Amino acid sequence: MEKYYLDPKSLYRLPWTMPDNGITWLEPTAQCNLNCYGCYRKNIKNSHKPLDEVKHELDFYESVRKSDCISIAGGDPLLYPYIVELVADIKSRGLKPIINTNGIALTDDLLDKLKKAGVFGFTFHIDSKQGKGRDPKWNNKNEAELNELRLYYAEMLASKGGIACSFNSTVYHDTIQYLPDLVD
């Protein structure tokens, strides 16, 4: 009978803990192109970390955590001047780079570069309390009406193929009524 050795580092334990977690959060910038009502982060212009510093943070995370994905957040990570290089570095480590963004700075050209660099997916944060910064046609739209914008980003990613797409939205007392329209 053959014996098998099961390396604990190859498994995740549930419930997840700080050192054993499916997702690690990375914030290379605090700069954003929106000023969302419910954001936890202070919007700081020109707050981009040097790429070497961010890579050092990744080295540290890898030394103390087991993760499958790196969620690149901020601010808006698409404003980070080294986002393509960062995605490539994360991918080269055998991790899945996922960009958490409001999508405003995502162009077709940037998406091509990010796909080539190895982006695994995007999580788009779109809700009605994001303040000024989007195209004015989205002003005063409710959560259900913003599904058109969500569809735009989903189709943009689908046109490239092989990129995961998800959405999140902050729910407020006056927007909870639209929740069924977001999950229907």
- Looking at per-residue confidence, does 104 or 179 come out higher? 104
DSSP secondary structure string, 31-84? --S---TT-SS---TT-PPPHHHHHHHHHHHHHH-B-SEEEE-SS-GGGSTTHH
Q: Which residues contact 171 (CB under 8 A, 6 or more apart)?
A: 179
Count of domains for the chain: 1
Q: Is the residue at 5 inside a domain?
A: no
pLDDT, mean of residues 71-89: 97
Q: What distance in Å separates the CA atoms of residue 20 and residue 32, rounded to the nearest whole number?
A: 30
Domain span including residue 147: 16-34+42-183
CATH number at residue 131: 3.20.20.70
Q: What is the pLDDT of residues 94-139, one digit of tens each?
A: 999 999 999 999 999 999 999 999 999 999 999 998 877 889 999 8
The reported pLDDT for the residue numbered 64 is: 80
- Looking at per-residue confidence, does 112 or 171 come out higher? 112
